[in-house]
Amino acid sequence: MIVLCKVNAMDRTLHAASERFLDSLRAKSPRTRSTYATGLRRFTSWAREEAGSDEITLDRLDDGALEGFYLALADELGPEREATIATYVAAARAFLRHCLREGSLTTLSIERAVERLHGVRAAPRYRTPRVDDALSIIVDYVKNELPALIPADAGEETRLRFARDRALLQVLYGTGMRRAEVARLDRRDVDDGHAQQALITGKGRRERVVFFDDDAREALRAYLGLRRDTYVPLFIRHRGAPRDPGRGGERLRLSPQSVWKIVKRYATAVGVTATTHGFRHLKATSLLNRGANLSHVQDILGHASPDTTKRIYAHYETAHLREVFDRFSVPVDEASARARRRRRSPEELTR
């Protein structure tokens, strides 16, 4: 009875429901909250425009809400922005589910809404990533050439930055981790460069094991051996004496954007086009080219579903199937000759 009173007294305006939904996301990552907030703003703006009013109640939404929102976005953004449209629609769907759970929305069925959405939605297109093995030139540069380029009179900060960058690029190349995952690494995760593997929490708060090769571990040991601090983050900024490093040096931690900038800087130095995500694709393709199967690559990269890996790297699976097809298919001449031999009588075979 108390629950019913709370539901009845709940503010059922779209604005109030949106505020409650965003508040429910406070345990999510900042990026998730930001993405959902952007999608929700687009959805509420569309809903108000459809209703012709700046403030509406949730009972104006029906089973066609997701369908109408999707079509409006498709008209505005075009088919080439399908990924963006999908993100906005996912935020709207999460919002509707939240309203249904809290009891403030009773005028639609999420199952019927999703079914109607699927009826008009374009099939998602997955672009095969362009993998440039020239990315390895960047890592080779920081591993073998960069140390010789450091001036003999270089200060401690300069040496620390070079050692950090070398270790960072070796980790990106060797593990196939996302830049945000690399930025979140702590020293204890790598046991100061002695650990062969680490348990990390990746995208969607899914845990997985990542593995460090010998080059990455050696570079990490060299970098951490130069550090004269006990800060927690693995990769930190090295510019001047920090005024307020934060607890455990947390304010010195490199951000994902800083990781991206470091990759871009060295890519420019060697004349290669590169992104941090390119190292993930390079890791995946190198594993697949050497015989790893898609399910193993899925686990190494931390994809939530094998379908994700299969869609992205479908051309490698197709190439493998083609190899099997060519290897085990029987030419018609061989098959017919075999069939003719089986059809011959015993008398013919003994002649």
Provide the annotated active-site residues: 178, 203, 277, 280, 303, 313
Tell me the backbone φ, ψ of residue 131, rounded to 5 degrees: -105, 120
Q: Closest Cα to residue 168, out of 184, 188, 152, 191?
A: 184
Report d(CA 280, CA 93) in Å as an integer.
30
Contact status, residue 200 vs residue 210, Cβ threshold 8 Å:
yes
Contact status, residue 194 vs residue 221, Cβ threshold 8 Å:
yes
Report d(CA 259, CA 282) in Å as an integer.
17
Helices (H) and strands (E) in the chain, counts: 19, 2
Residues 6+ apart with CB under 8 A from 197: 209, 210, 211, 212
Amino acid letter at 136?
A: S
Contact status, residue 303 vs residue 311, Cβ threshold 8 Å:
no
Residues 6+ apart with CB under 8 A from 130: none
Q: Residue 251 to residues 181, 217, 248: CA-CA distances in angstroms?
A: 17, 25, 8
What helix, strand, coil percent values describe the chain, rounded to 5? 70, 5, 30
Report d(CA 52, CA 39) in Å as an integer.
20
Q: Closest Cα to residue 262, out of 271, 272, 251, 275?
A: 275
Structure-token match 């922005």, residue found:
81
Contact status, residue 297 vs residue 211, Cβ threshold 8 Å:
no
326 phi-psi bin (left φ>0, alpha ψ -120 to 50, beta other) = alpha
